[in-house]
Amino acid sequence: MHPSERYTESAFVINVMLPRERGNAAARAIGRTADDKLSEAISLTKAIGLEVTAATTINLSTIRPSTLIGTGTLKEWHDRAHAEHPSVIIFNAVLTPVQHRNLERELEAKVLDRTALILEIFGERAQTREGRLQVELAALTFQRSRLVRSWTHLERQRGGAGFMGGPGESQLELDRRMLLERIDKLKRDLQDVRRTRGLHRAARERQGAHVVALVGYTNAGKSTLFNTLTGADILAKDMLFATLDPTLRRLRLKSGRELVLADTVGFISDLPHELVDAFRATLEEVIEADLILHVRDASNPEWDAQKRDVLDVLRSLGRMELPEEPDRLPPPIQDPPVDPDLENPEARTPPADTLVDVVPVIEVWNKIDHAEASQNMADAEHDPNFDALFAVVKTSAVTGEGLEELLATIDEALSDGEQDLELLIPYAAGAAMAWLHEFSHVLSHTNIEEGTRTTVRISDDDWGKLQKRFPSISTL
């Protein structure tokens, strides 16, 4: 059942527009209006099965360090909460530990901020051991300075990250020392996951398989596109964060080239850094990819802002030297200050030696079967700031339009630095055939009197290695 169809608890949603975000000019600069942000916050709330019974936007002229919002507004929402008894009040903002604690005390209600809400969604979506480890690590890292209390009036046990409370959720009652011990254990477990993924990637590299990673804003249609291209049947629903754990499938192109297609977690604006850190093992499928398909929802009015958010996350991974967006899209608004104990810059700043060359990117303008897409695409193409930095392919994963062009564009992008060669391999150098099967793509081979006539697709680097190792091989 879709989360929006299983309401058992209610929520108030309060979207907070910080001073820098107010006004039409500011909204244009960040790419999102107050209505846009409120709509997304409501969708996030519904994603964990909460019924939104009240929703509003509060425009702040100043930020109160103790409660974020002013006393008059605070009293108004306290009185409403006292009358309607919502299960939780969602603030679409990043709260400091002090603000979070004071708001719960003043409102006499459970409070979640944007970070906790997103973590809760991830907790419900995680299906594999790896996904659950990553969500728990992110949640405990976030809770470390907060030690969120259990709220006994929420009796239903939930499958999320634990922020909705409920009796028996013991991790919320752990003291600081026990939290740190558990965090260390989770990090060790995830190191094992990273090593295993590294071994799998090394095996794919030995087989000469290119990795193509799908990335995009949540609900952009990545999983539907993945299913259509590969014939897979992974969860592809109109819901936020339907995919958490990376799904890998092999795909053979018409040229005979084989690749591994990776579907990954969807991104979102102001993605909590705790999640980026915890999901680094999963996101390494993106970091190590030979090609990135950035799937964009061309029908979404916020698609420019969504593009910026996706590129921001890719840059934060450290091994993507992606160019900055035009000046019209400034960096995201900074979060309010947090407890210094939560800050761990070394964990989030990749070492300099991990930087690699720019990863090729193809922008996939998806959902072109939607009426709203035409105007968005036309506006983008006529924007004087629009550049052809990335190849663009327009598709509909539902109707299939543009998919053949997309596959051809992928094939062309992966062919850079490769060549097709016809080789003569003497029978005395038979070990070369095994080497070619491991490090190149063997297109055909025929035994003739002088040896084996073999057609291969091979990278320039591997061709050089082959010549040094087997000097008796010649081209035909």
d(CA 218, CA 222): 8
> What local confidence, expressed as pLDDT, does residue 295 receive?
95
Question: What's the DSSP call for residue 333?
Answer: P
Q: Per-residue pLDDT for 125 more than 90?
A: no
CB half-sphere exposure, 249, CA atoms < 13 A: 18
Q: Per-residue pLDDT for 343 more than 80?
A: no
Q: What are phi and psi of 408, to 5 degrees?
A: -65, -40
Note whether 117 and 125 are within 8 A (CB): no
Which residue has tokens 């929420």? Answer: 154
For residue 289, the cross-strand partners are: none
DSSP-derived 3-state class of residue 169: coil
Q: Where in the chain is the domain with CATH 3.40.50.11060?
A: 1-109
CATH entry, 1-109, from 3.40.50.11060, 3.40.640.10, 3.90.440.10, 3.40.1190.20: 3.40.50.11060
> What local confidence, expressed as pLDDT, does residue 164 receive?
58
pLDDT, tens only, 166-186: 434 444 555 677 888 888 999
| Weakest mean pLDDT among 159-173, 200-214, 252-266 | 159-173
**C-alpha 47 chain-centroid distance:** 17
> What local confidence, expressed as pLDDT, does residue 386 receive?
64
Note whether 102 and 134 are within 8 A (CB): no
DSSP-derived 3-state class of residue 7: coil
> What local confidence, expressed as pLDDT, does residue 208 receive?
63
Based on C-alpha coordinates, what's the Rg of the chain? 25
pLDDT, tens only, 261-311: 988 877 888 777 777 766 666 677 777 788 999 999 999 988 988 998 888
Question: CATH number of the domain at 418-475, please?
Answer: 3.30.70
Determine what percent of the chain is predicted with pLDDT higher than 70. 73
Question: CATH number of the domain at 200-414, please?
Answer: 3.40.50.300
Q: Per-residue pLDDT for 228 more than 70?
A: yes
In this structure, what token pair is assigned to residue 472?
């008796």
> What local confidence, expressed as pLDDT, does residue 173 receive?
54
pLDDT winner (highest mean) among 19-28, 191-200, 232-241: 191-200
User: What is this structure's pTM?
Assistant: 0.72
Q: Per-residue pLDDT for 422 more than 50?
A: yes
Q: Where in the chain is the domain with CATH 3.40.50.300?
A: 200-414
DSSP-derived 3-state class of residue 141: helix
Q: Per-residue pLDDT for 235 more than 70?
A: no
221: left (phi over 0), alpha (psi -120 to 50) or beta: left
> What local confidence, expressed as pLDDT, does residue 6 receive?
45
> What local confidence, expressed as pLDDT, does residue 367 receive?
95
Q: Which amino acid is at 270?
A: D
pLDDT, tens only, 389-418: 678 999 999 999 999 999 999 998 988 778
Strands 418-426 and 451-459: antiparallel
Q: Where in the chain is the domain with CATH 3.30.70?
A: 418-475
> What local confidence, expressed as pLDDT, does residue 162 receive?
55
> What local confidence, expressed as pLDDT, does residue 321 receive?
52
Q: Per-residue pLDDT for 356 more than 60?
A: no
Kindly state the average pLDDT of the residues 348-367.
63
In this structure, what token pair is assigned to residue 302?
């916020």
Number of helices (H), then strands (E), belonging to the chain: the values are 16, 14
| Weakest mean pLDDT among 375-384, 449-458, 465-474 | 375-384
pLDDT, tens only, 40-74: 999 999 988 899 999 999 999 999 999 999 999 99
Residue spans of alpha helices (H) in 231-364: 273-278, 280-287, 303-316, 345-348
Which residue has tokens 């929802």? Answer: 297
Question: What's the DSSP call for residue 328?
Answer: T
DSSP-derived 3-state class of residue 82: helix
